[in-house]
Amino acid sequence: MYLKHWYLRAGFLVAFFLGAAFFGVCRAEAAAVAVTGDIVNLRSGPGTGYSKVGEVSRGTQLAVVGQSGGWYKVRLASGALAWIAGWLVKPVAVSPGSETSRAGSLPSTQTTECWVTVTGDYANLYSGPGTNYAKVGEASPGTQLAVIEQSGDWYKVRLQTGSEMWINRSSTRPVSGAVSQVPVSRTRDEDGLIGFDAKESGPVTEIGFTFVRPVDAQVSLSAVPPRLVVEIAGLPSGELGKGWDFDSGIVSRVYAEWVREEPPVARVVLDLKTSGAVSYQTLSSPDKRVLKLRLAAGPLYAVSGRVIVLDPGHGGSDPGALGPSGLQEKDFNLDVALLTAEELRGRGAQVFLTREADQYVDLYARTAKANSLGAAVFVSIHGNAAESPRLASLKAGTSTYWYAPADDPVLGFQREKRELLARCLQKSLVDKLGRKDLGLFTANFVVLRTATMPAALVEVAFVSNPEEEGLMRADWFRQAAARALVEGLEDYFQQAG
């Protein structure tokens, strides 16, 4: 157990006390990247746990021959192969006479167009490269976007409508092969005023409509007969569509019709197979030419309706671990918790935080709040720290803790669910952040021992590690950590019921 947790141990101790982003998107005959950090380490494998085999300086261009998680396998001019962290490079088109690495120059290689596809759930689109810019829309999972510019961890992308917006690269992955900006669909009608796409994703039906011009669309749900109705104002006269042959687990038929000539109003009707509870979500593009619908017979998300307590570790007079450049763990923990709460609430969960500002909260008070709320789960969010300064640059990665001794009458009963919660969170964090998987651990922490519901404590990354501290400062990394926690909770509730 690491030094930062001495105050969390039970009994004789007093109670004082985050896709992965992918890294590079250009499809190329021979992909290449340029180093963005001042001096960046080369390693023998895809992770900070592998031995250092060299260094490269800012601007150095390297030919890419492979990729693993957030790491690129690159070929040096000498022919030697090494690994470099993807968040410290950017995709480029290499030309003769480019800056060389310490091993020599690189052969010329030309990239072609750059494409990404949206991963996970809906991804936010912004007017500029950062969350401080205005949110101007969302992109649905599977949407393929053309990348036309990059600024740090943000891509400027062109939508199918021609609009240009910014997306964080943690919400995307590179596209290989032929690309199309329209997600794979069952049917599509290109001949009418309304285009149609639909697909099933597990229990959720996703339907998209594209319009020949910007429209005002209003969506309503009717119980008798069971159907979802989209009223559309702003279309010109003409044929709406030739009819759409679509059938899913929840939708039996989709059709469009004119309901008024002057001013013209059309409607699209989705006949539903169930008269029971139906959940739906709407998403309109900023230019009002695309409307997306998500429907499910029941909650759209497994976290919907769940009471979830998030615990941003430390706070106030307790800063937690300190990074080599001064990052305080408590600030990272709180930011990730707030981002996670926002996403969970958007999915219908009831979320409570043990603190929502920089304040000290006693350990026992944290779980007491969760217990009084009857929470379904309790998740404590932390950054890790090495046992000693000499190990600071060596310790890196993600881990998750749980606690449920078999002989405990309460916790032992929850043993399977507690371990499942920890496993789901750990897997999601490693998958999306690309850090070294340190695995699951059990520990008699106060916040794990005193929670009466399944509880886990996540160590997102090492604030004591210079490289990971830099990541923990980045907006995209914090957003990716939050999204990972949300997806981990989705996975948990899907399995635990």
d(C-alpha 225, C-alpha 245), whole Å: 20
> How far is residue 142's CA from residue 377's CA, in Å, rounded to a whole number?
30
451: amino acid identity, one letter: A
- Burial of residue 377, with CB atoms counted within 10 A of its CB: 0-12 exposed, 13-18 middle, 19 or more buried: buried
Helix (H) or strand (E) holding 282: strand 279-284
Sign of the dihedral defined by the CA atoms of residues 309, 312, 318, 321, in that order: positive
CB atoms within 10 A of CB 160: 17
User: Are the beta carbons of 19 and 432 closer than 8 angstroms?
Assistant: yes
Residues in the chain: 497
Six-digit token string for 73: 């396998």
State the angle between helix axes of 466-473 and 475-496 in degrees (0 to 180), rounded to the nearest 10. 80
Instruction: Name the packing angle between helices 475-496 and 329-346 (round to 10°).
Output: 50
Q: Which residues pair with 458 in a beta bridge?
A: 381, 400
Cβ–Cβ under 8 Å, residues 216 and 287: no
Structure tokens at 29: 């005959």
* Residues with active-site annotation: 459
Q: Cα(235)–Cα(212) distance, rounded to whole angstroms?
A: 7
Of 65, 26, 329, 394, the C-alpha closest to 179 is 26
- Of 392, 381, 391, 396, nearest to 461 by C-alpha is 396
DSSP single-letter state for residue 38: S
Closest CA to 73 of 99, 92, 45: 45
Q: Which residues contact 152 (CB under 8 A, 6 or more apart)?
A: 129, 474, 476
